[in-house]
Structure 1
Amino acid sequence: MKNFRSPQRPKKNTMIIGQQAVIEALKDGRALDRIYIDTRVQGASGAAIRQHASHAGVPVNTVPEAKLNTFNAGPHDGCIAIIARVQYQDLQSVISFAVEKGETPLFLILDGITDIRNIGGIARTAYCCGVHALIIPDKGVGALNEEALLTSAGALEQIAVCRVNSLVKAVDDLRMNGIKVFASEMKASVIAANAPLNEPCAIVLGSEDKGIHPTLLKVCDEQIRIPMATDFESLNVSVATGMLLYEAGRQRGWAVEG
């Protein structure tokens, strides 16, 4: 049997334990980060959890009982929900808010970034650089847990975070609002300084090992890169984010003295 381990085990006061308790939390509109449900949970309660979770936009992970037992939550009835530490925002609402304020939209899209220290560092830099929101998928991204919040120095509680079930659709929504989408790709022909980052835009960042998913890369408007003096494999994604955002700041005028 596979030995499941939880390297960042959630604290008990951050969990909602048991099928009925999770259903009630969903009905009450509690902000949940994720729901873990035993593969053996079927019937009306399992269907109700999945239905309410889908309506609320809360990801559901179907896992073996061994995974749930790693949380040390006691009797869990085959279901544990993790209370969200951040309040997820609707993407269109954030876009509209930025436009109504007369600001030039700037978004970050995180694709496949699972290291929560990188996510925390990205959030910290993004908030300092005036990014309107981080856009993350509901699956395949590191949990926005206590460690991520600490790494971000609290920025994850200040910046808007939009969780979507499809990054490709999110790109379509951005483009429909006149927001150009740039993909950070180390082999791109266009360097960041020559891209119009002063216009309404979003920047897509992929994981350091796999990069941006080909399907997502295909729907972006343009690929850009950070020029480097040496032929090294890649930059840390959090560092790369800072460099791209300060280039955007230079073009937008706030990162230039005077």
Structure 2
Amino acid sequence: MVVGRNPLVEALTTGANIDKILVARKASGEAIDQVRTLAREKNIPIQYVPNEKLNGLTNINHQGIIAFKSAVIYQDLQQVIDWVLSKGETPLFLMLDGVTDVRNIGAMSRSALCCGAQAIIIPDKGVGALNEDAVKSSAGALEQIQVCRVDSLLKALDTLHLNGIKVYTSEMNAKSKVYELPLSEPSCIIMGNEEKGVQSYLTKAADDKFTIPMKGDFDSFNVSVAAGIILYEAMKQRLLTYE
């Protein structure tokens, strides 16, 4: 953590990787205003909380503000797309919508890297922190794959579509099976919250919905296992196409 006003202003000014900032609801002053400005410029989410929450996080005089450092460096989505295309590769991205368990995030990041995905797209709010536990769960994959943090997943979908990247999401009653998708083409897969799945507005904006066939009547695969199955299918199709 970065605790206190001046330490945080210095951290933001010198380019430290900050995941999110907690500000006491009644905090005010020049340094607080400066933090807000710098956070907005760097697309770092700010959460306003009771002072008691900050007191519970540290014994140090926090001056109404605490920040959590990120274990990864966030990249711009369009720049990552341009970088992938400049290498002559076909984009394969993974978008996380409300995935909160850092172990699932780590496992999906590991599968993504192993299956040739170049980037993971996350929202600036409502997703598990990419901290040391997430990096550990990913076996270091989060430090190698590109991570794009965006302020709107819907806007990110627009960016993907403008660059010719199709977006797919799973749905229990979908007609298409995962192995019927053209995943050798530029693709992005949306993986949803562990309990609620993908939000409806993202499902509507996706190019196609698919299901993963299962044997038996059980509810569904764990989200990280499902991601591994989908990513492996994408890799298999690409290996067959490019050989």
* 1:231-246 equivalent positions in 2, closer than 5 A: 231-246=217-232
Q: Which of 170, 175, 188 is equivalent to 2:161? A: 175
Paired residue secondary structure (1:22): helix
- Give the match for residue 188 of structure 1: 174
Q: Detail structure 1 runs of 4+ shifted over 6 Å in the superposition.
A: none
Q: Which of 110, 115, 123 is equivalent to 1:137? A: 123
Gaps of 5+ in 1: 1-14
Q: Which of 250, 254, 257 is equivalent to 2:236? A: 250
> How big is the shift at 1:55?
0.4
- Give the match for residue 60 of structure 1: 46
Paired residue secondary structure (2:84): helix
TM superposition score normalised by structure 2: 0.96
AA aligned opposite 1:51: T
Q: Which of 26, 48, 65 is equivalent to 2:34? A: 48
Residue 99 (str. 1) matches residue 85 (str. 2)? yes
- Change over 3 Å in CA distance of 1:56–1:173 after alignment to 2: same
> Within 2, Cα distance between the matches of 1:196 and 1:178?
13
> Within 1, Cα distance between the matches of 2:216 and 2:2?
50
Gaps of 5+ in 2: none
> Within 2, Cα distance between the matches of 1:48 and 1:34?
15
> How big is the shift at 1:227?
0.7
> Within 1, Cα distance between the matches of 2:178 and 2:67?
41
Paired residue secondary structure (1:253): helix
Residue 76 (str. 1) matches residue 62 (str. 2)? yes
> How big is the shift at 1:198?
0.7
Q: Count how many residue pairs are aligned between Structure 1 and Structure 2.
A: 243
Paired residue secondary structure (1:75): coil
CA contact (8 A) 2:184 2:241 kept: no
Among all aligned residue pairs of Structure 1 and Structure 2, give the percentage whose two residues are the same amino acid.
Answer: 50
CA deviations 1:78-124 (Å, max 9, x no partner) are: 11111221011111111111111111100000000001110010011
> How big is the shift at 1:184?
1.8
Paired residue secondary structure (2:196): coil
CA RMSD of aligned residues (A): 1.6
- Give the match for residue 110 of structure 2: 124
